[in-house]
Amino acid sequence: LTPLFCGFSEYTNQSSVTEFVLLGLSGYPELEAIYFLLVLFMYLVILLGNGVIIIVNLSFLDICYTSSSIPLFLSRFLASKKTISFSGCGVQMFLSFAMGATECVLLSMMAFDCYVAICNPLRYPVIMSKNLYVPVAAGSWIAGGVNSVLQISLAMQLPFCGDNVINHFTCEILSVLKLACADISINVISMVVANTIFLLVPLLFIFVSYVFILPTILRIPSAEGRHKAFSTCSAHLTVVIIFYGTILFTYAKLKAKDFSGADKVQVTGKIISLFYGVVTPMLNPLIYSLRNKDVKAALKNFSPGVPK
């Protein structure tokens, strides 16, 4: 990554930036209405789907994650002035960064849960007890929050005294760093370390877990047994592929574009960011939680009109 540096001398006669302009799809007005309706529909599905299962599954991470950015994203389409204050940008970055890091850690813990359930089923109740998963869940949230405080503090201390147009729908941190009129090498190094810890390490953990899971499934003699074992982890694997596949692809494009002197992130890159930010949380209730028989049973008990 090549640090961006803008000499202070060329901005000495300009005041500091107090707000940012969110460019989004301003150059493509024919796409804005379609994109607005699409994201609004998916956000309502997220609220409905996760809102239903939150009672029985405490699955509010996706609601927090999407609510940190989607309301801002939707409001930009309706507002004539597509701006966000400096402090508001920092808050939005903090929430989305914290929720994203937390989800990465939780996905790796869910892979371990699948590993124990399939490879050590008799010991599952002992290993996956409250003494393990409660501290792990709490630790995931704390780690995501601490990392977000560090990254956003470093970003918001930078001087922003020139261009204030963010070429994205929200305050995406790489797009914001590009606007700083100072050396951002410390920020880049810090983000590389954070991405290694919260993206690559959990991904490696997931990969290793499935290296043991898949051979175990294939060694099951009966087809019915293999199908049952695979269905235990298939929903989680689907979420991992969608979430990690799109986020790694998107950030690879951003790194290539934003830190190589390019002025604009391609529209396809912006639209692809929709998948890890919106599509995955929307699909989670369908491909994971609602496939769990315990959740289904709890929903039936909670809904008196649903036949048991």
| Distance of alpha carbon 212 from alpha carbon 217, whole angstroms | 9
User: What is the structure's pLDDT at 256?
Assistant: 52
Nearest alpha-carbon partner for 187 in 228, 156, 221: 156
pLDDT at 215: 92
Span between the terminal Cα atoms of the chain, in Å:
57
pLDDT in tens, the chain (308 residues): 333 333 333 444 444 677 777 766 666 666 777 777 888 888 787 777 666 555 445 456 777 777 777 777 777 677 666 778 888 888 888 888 888 888 888 889 889 988 998 998 888 888 888 888 788 888 888 988 999 999 999 998 888 887 788 877 778 888 888 888 888 999 999 989 998 998 899 999 999 999 999 999 999 888 888 888 887 788 788 888 877 877 777 666 555 554 444 444 456 666 666 666 677 777 766 665 555 555 555 555 555 444 44
Beta 19-22 vs 165-166: how paired, if at all?
parallel
A 10 A CB-CB count for 231 gives 10
Res 4: pLDDT: 35
* H helix runs in 185-305, sequence order: 185-195, 201-218, 223-258, 267-274, 280-287, 293-302
Q: Are 217 and 230 in contact (CB under 8 A)?
A: yes
Which pair of tokens denotes residue 3? 């640090």
What is the pTM for the complete model shown?
Answer: 0.72
Helical (H) or strand (E) element with 14: none
Cβ contacts of 293 within 8 Å, gap of 6 or more:
none
Residue 266 has what pLDDT? 55
Closest CA to 288 of 251, 234, 245, 249: 234
**Which pLDDT score, from 0 to 100, does residue 276 have?**
64
